[in-house]
Amino acid sequence: MMMRALRRRINAWYARAGRALPWREPDCGPWGVFLSEVMAQQTPLARVEPIWRDWMQRWPTPAALAAAAPGDAVRAWGRLGYPRRALRLHEAATVMVERHGGDVPTTPAELLALPGVGAYTAAAVACFAFGIPEVVVDTNVRRVLARTVEGKAFPHLTLTRAETDLATRAMPAQRHTESSARDEANVWNVAVMELGALVCVARGPRCEECPVADLCAWNVAGRPAYEGPPRRGQAWHGTDRQVRGEILRRLREEHRPVPLTALDGAGPERAQVLRCLDSLVADGLVEPLGRNRFRLPA
């Protein structure tokens, strides 16, 4: 009974409060949905949207991206974060051309076989692009269910089997056999994520705006403090991630090979810069040339 009430209220809230994003529009095809899901991994949607629009204008189909140089994808990725995702998108587009006639594959199993696609992305694309009511579990979903159902301030640090089982129970039982249950499940997947992103946020949750505040076990219990392992934020300044990003920024701004000296100062110490440069070469994000010159992959 509670799960039905949660779905009903959260879905109704989403219908009036959900953000108008281009990949949620009815005329957005599977390729647009696929791009959005890869780009949105660990990245705020406000940062994703302008890059998504640029990519869709430049590469409106998998074939268009596959025909481009991998370095073009890395350059167009900008500072979206985790640039290996740009290479994986290029690789996935190539596989779509080679094995799927230039289309995004339609089944979760085929999606999961694409380069760089994990369980979450495969389920999300199957659901949002093709209407297949897969169980979609991201950080926002886990947090909403931990609070509303389990009465905990936060979910586990990493996804557990119990959390996956809980997310499965939150879906309509007849989602694979009844069209109404399937539609409800597909809306639920995006609605509960949206609630976690906008209202049931990690810090400073806006319970006064929540459509299920009176049903939420955590809120009703007085919002008890988190008692689990420390949840530390990711450091940035001076880390290898920052240095790798600065090296890529310098290479993106040049449309010709750059000498090693042009990368000096990308980090606090030259040894760190060289270590990060080696790791970028190993990841396929940077191509080494003769005479100590480097460029994005051609």
Write out pLDDT tens, residues 51-103: 999 999 999 999 999 999 999 999 999 888 889 999 999 999 999 999 999 99
User: What pLDDT score was predicted for residue 146?
Assistant: 96
Considering the segment(s) 2-130 as one domain, its CATH architecture is Orthogonal Bundle (1.10)
In this structure, which amino acid lies at residue 233?
G
- Of 119, 158, 120, 157, which is closest to residue 138 (Cα–Cα)? 120
- pTM given for the model: 0.85
Count of other CB atoms within 10 angstroms of residue 224 = 11
Q: Which member of 37, 91, 134, 194 is catalytic? A: 37
CB 23, CB 104: distance < 8 Å: no
Residue 296 is which amino acid? Answer: L
**For the domain bounded by 240-295, which CATH number is listed?**
1.10.10
CA atoms within 13 A on the CB side of 134: 23
* 34-57 tens-digit pLDDT: 999 999 988 889 899 999 999 999
Can 110 be counted among the known catalytic residues?
Answer: no
CB of 167 within 8 A of CB of 112? no
Q: Reduced to 3 states, what is the DSSP secondary structure of residue 225?
A: coil
Sheet holding 287-289, edge to edge: 258-259, 293-295, 287-289
User: What residues contact 229, with CB distance under 8 A and at least 6 apart?
Assistant: 157
Residue 39 has a CB neighbour count (10 Å cut-off) of: 23
**Domain boundaries along the sequence of the chain:** 2-130, 240-295
Task: Decide if 136 contacts 37 (C-beta within 8 A).
Answer: no
SS3 at position 19 = coil
